[in-house]
Amino acid sequence: MTRRSRRNWKSGSFRPVAGRSSMNGRLAVARVAGRFFSLRDERLRLGSEGYSPRVLQKIEYAGADEVSFEQAALGLRVLAELSISAKHVQRITERLGEQRRGQRDAAVAAFQAGTLQPEHPEPPEVVAIHLDAGKIQLRQEHDGPGVHGPHWGDSKVGCLLTYTALSGSGDPQPNPPAVFLDPPRVMRLCREMERVRNPPQTRAGDNEVPLRSWVTDGHPEGDRPRRLVRTAVATTESAEPFGWMVAAEAMKRGFYGAPKRAVVGDGGNWIRPLAELHFPGWVQVLDFLHLLVHLYAAATAAYRGQARAAWSRYERWVRSAWAGRVDEVIAGLRAACVHLGPPAAGGPPAPDTDPRRVVALTLAYVQANAGRMDYAHYRRAGLPITRAPVESLIKQFNQRVKGTEKFWLRGGVESVLQVRAAYLSEDDRAERFHDRRPRGRAVGQNRLTPAA
């Protein structure tokens, strides 16, 4: 194509014959329904980003999986021989994440309108929704380059799991796992639980044992329900819109038609109303690991400096809780309050570390969640009693979005969370998105570059 013809092409006056090659055979164009397109663009399925869907998926995956966009660009250059800047990786990842966010919000709107249908006709047998919250560092919008107004924001994560049905009607594990009765391992478990929630500088190191390996959902290896498929929902929005997101995801997966259904949470004040609004009639389960941490803290506070007495009291409480004998746990905590004595009258409020405050708060926590602690019944029904799956899932999100040097704009991290959630889901949604995504007209220099 000559320089003049290129000018005419840009102005719209150039009209090549359909199917005829130009630019020395490098680019063929055709006319369909009044518009022109490149035959090579069609063959490579190039979109407005200038990449084929397969290459675009690699960029998106790297942007959401690596610890930073810089590492993503490096990985693409080394592993995929694709030269792309970190900023371009960020733009593509966030753009695709925004499109995934649009699909998520469309599903929520359809659910609210009563038109959203399950994707599969047969509902699963046993389902559980594990809910938790984490922290993300944010920065102020529209303040130019650099970090301005850094602050912590909340992230909320839903882990939706299906399980195989449990055969038999007896309690498959009437006694607590040995890990819950071994002092050094219980201490490590409590540290690990705290590090999942705390800022990144206090997170577990590489030598820490993942939460998933601590417990087997309350069932022995041979008898426990087998985990099937996990999908993830994540957002920085508040509990109300998050609840609708989780409910829409549950509807798409057919959870509302399952004969056995549970919502597992830590007893947080936002989880209970969410579950009651969107999942009425479902079994609500208090995470046993969270309860264990509370009981251990109360026992060590009530008998500070008396290691043997503290462990004996903890073991008694945890055995009662495991069996679902909530009244015994409440009676034991009340006795511990009596043992410590009442707070000084007219004095200042007790600090958080005060033993009387620790035990009193644990007692209030158990009383508020007593209806969610029938663990023997849950095990007989084949339902999970811990939210270890969502604790593990949050750590996988944190590997990407949480760090001492990461300060996100809210819109950017929301988009990255959507991409991360898609690739952490164990169905084909990450790939299906690219197969069904409409392509815009290819632009830019990459449209003439070979692509996979």
Averaged confidence pLDDT in the chain: 82
Give yes or no for residue 444 having a pLDDT over 60: no
Of 55-64, 211-220, 313-322, the one with minimum mean pLDDT is 211-220
Q: What is the pLDDT of residues 136-173, one digit of tens each?
A: 999 988 777 778 888 999 899 999 999 998 877 788 88
What's the rounded mean pLDDT across residues 27-55? 56
Provide mean pLDDT across the span 252-280. Answer: 94
pLDDT given for residue 348 in this prediction: 60
- Measure Cα distances from 173 to 126, 176, 177, 217, 220 in Å: 19, 7, 8, 10, 6
pLDDT band at 40 (very low <50, low <70, confident <90, very high): very low
- Residues 126/260, Cβ–Cβ less than 8 Å: yes
pLDDT tens track for 226-245: 899 999 999 999 999 999 99
**Helical H segments across 372-428, by residue range:** 375-380, 388-401, 410-424
Instruction: Detail the DSSP E strand segments found in 273-397.
Output: 283-286
**Comparing 143 with 264, which gets the higher pLDDT?**
264
Q: Of residues 16 and 74, which shows the higher confidence score?
A: 74
Q: What is the pLDDT of residues 427-437, one digit of tens each?
A: 999 999 998 88
d(CA 153, CA 151): 7
Whether 130 and 159 have beta carbons less than 8 Å apart is answered as yes
Share above pLDDT 70 across residues of the chain, in percent, rounded to a whole number:
77
Q: Looking at the predicted structure, is the pLDDT value of residue 123 above 80?
A: yes
Phi, psi of 213 (to 5 degrees): -85, -5
Q: How far is CA 422 from CA 156, 184, 321, 385, in A?
A: 15, 37, 36, 26
Q: What is the pLDDT of residue 438?
A: 77
At 395, list the tokens. Answer: 């750590």
* pLDDT tens per residue across span 183-224: 999 998 888 776 655 544 434 333 333 444 445 444 444 467
Compute the distance between CA of residue 307 and CA of residue 299 in angstroms, rounded to an integer. Answer: 9
For a pLDDT cut of 90, what percent of the chain falls above it?
60
